[in-house]
């Protein structure tokens, strides 16, 4: 059992390096502070694990064709493409803004969408991150089932999903720290903010399109 958990843990790490997952995290965490970045990456990983667990348990008792399972990849790709289009639309229409002000003798920077400066709603960001993780978990079902079949006869339990999710969280957390570094060191002016969002949007389109065509 211990060996199975180790294998699934490493599968979670490898799985998390998928360009679609990293693109999704970049889309959501760009321009965020440390706390929001960590929350976003954690909830994305948690949603991913929950989704895979639900699908895997269903597939233990319901036989679904390989063709139908492939639609999970289409869902993941569509989400990434939609997010890329959204970010590029915001850049082109100049709806991404930068506001700097001081709180307690310390300068704060806020990146926001729209013409009015409003502090973002944390509950919306959290729900969106968890939902995105749930949706994109559908794209990893086939790979996880193959791994589970190799190490445990295809039976799924919470400890296995926990091991997988832990591996995912480690990679997502590390990538979140990279995004935080970018947020803190490269987004000091509006020009850089818009360039960064444009880059992330284009990468999302490329990654999503590649998944659909692949």
* Cα-based distances in Å from 61 to 48, 145, 154: 21, 13, 11
Domain assignment of residue 103, given as a range: 2-213
Which residues have a Cβ under 8 Å from the Cβ of 23 and sit 6 or more positions away?
80, 83, 84, 200, 203, 204, 207, 208
Helix pair angle (19-29, 71-92), 10° resolution: 30
Instruction: Kindly report the pTM of this predicted structure.
Output: 0.75
If one compares 132 and 169, the residue with the highest pLDDT of the two is 169
Distance CA 31, CA 127 (A): 18
- Determine the pLDDT at residue 38: 83
Task: Give yes or no for a contact between 22 and 175, defined as CB atoms under 8 angstroms apart.
Answer: yes
Mean pLDDT computed over every residue of the chain: 77
- Determine the pLDDT at residue 141: 61
Number of compact structural domains in the chain: 1
**pLDDT tens digits, 125-142:** 667 777 777 776 666 666
**pLDDT tens digits, 22-41:** 888 887 787 777 888 888 88
Q: Is the pLDDT of residue 161 over 70?
A: yes
Helix, strand or coil, per DSSP, at residue 147: helix
Of these ranges, 11-15, 51-55, 57-61, the one predicted with the greatest mean pLDDT is 11-15
């Amino acid at each position: 059992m211990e060996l199975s958990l180790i294998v699934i843990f490493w599968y979670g790490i490898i799985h998390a390096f998928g360009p679609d997952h990293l693109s999704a995290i970049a889309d959501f965490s760009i321009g965020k502070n440390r706390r929001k970045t960590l929350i976003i990456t954690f909830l994305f990983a948690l949603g991913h694990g929950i989704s895979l667990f639900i699908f895997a348990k269903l597939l233990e008792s319901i036989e679904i064709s390989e063709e139908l399972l492939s639609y999970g990849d289409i869902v993941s790709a569509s989400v990434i493409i939609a997010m890329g289009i959204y970010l590029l639309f915001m850049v082109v229409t100049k709806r991404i803004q930068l506001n700097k002000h001081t709180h307690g003798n310390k300068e704060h920077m806020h990146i926001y969408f729209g013409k009015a400066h409003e502090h973002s709603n944390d509950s919306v960001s959290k729900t969106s991150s968890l939902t995105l993780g749930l949706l994109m978990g559908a794209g990893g079902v086939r790979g996880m089932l193959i791994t589970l079949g190799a190490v445990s006869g295809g039976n799924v339990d919470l400890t296995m999903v926990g091991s997988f999710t832990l591996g995912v969280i480690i990679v997502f957390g590390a990538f979140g720290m990279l995004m935080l570094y970018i947020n803190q060191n490269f987004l000091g002016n509006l020009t850089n903010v818009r360039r960064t969002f444009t880059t992330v949007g284009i990468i999302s389109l490329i990654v999503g399109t590649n998944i659909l065509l692949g």
